[in-house]
Amino acid sequence: MKKKSKLYERIKNSIIVLNLRNKSREGILKELVSYLTMDDKAKKILLKTLIKREELGSTTIGKGIAVPHARTLLIKEFKVVIGLSRNGVNFDTKSHKLTHLFFLLLAPPREASNTYLITLGKIAELAKNIGSDRRLLKVKKKSEFFEIIEDIEGKRT
């Protein structure tokens, strides 16, 4: 059987923000998008697309995790921005549960390796496997974050 690649391998070079400051859904999305290298106009369009996506159904997947995501013309290559909100945010406006951890996933319309859909699936899997493990929400260093992801995945193989 072909060995599946791990989430850790796919996201270890991502931008990670350990202290998201915003407290609203739109604010969080704006803050995550602000870490991308693109012109302001493109950021504005991308933000609108992400908000529309959330309106169609929240991208929260339980355990305090949300994965706002989009395929978009506005980027050239697959990108992940990870953000952590210590206090949590009411990201899914229809639920009262707080969201702490955000994985913003963006991909261009066309990718040969289909990284986007596979990574979406891997994060959903992580949320299922995380159980009562709260370590990811308490990390102090970026490297620590990825080590914990590796550890959680390692236990499952």
Burial class from Cβ neighbours inside 10 Å (0-12, 13-18, 19+) for residue 146 reads buried
Taking CB under 8 A as the criterion, the residue among 13, 57, 96, 132 binding another protein is 57
- Give the largest Cα separation in the chain, rounded: 46
**At its nearest, how many Å lie between another protein and the CB of residue 15?**
19
Taking CB under 8 A as the criterion, the residue among 93, 121, 138, 143 binding another protein is 121
Neighbours of 41 (CB within 10 A): 9
**Measured distance CA(19)–CA(7) in Å, rounded:** 22
**At its nearest, how many Å lie between another protein and the CB of residue 78?**
14
Does residue 134 belong to the site contacting another protein (CB under 8 A)? no
Taking the least distance from each CB to another protein, the nearer of 18 and 124 is 124
Judged by the rule CB under 8 A, the positions of this chain that interact with another protein are 39, 41-42, 45, 48-49, 52-53, 55-59, 61, 67, 70-74, 76, 94, 108-110, 117, 120-121, 124, 127-128
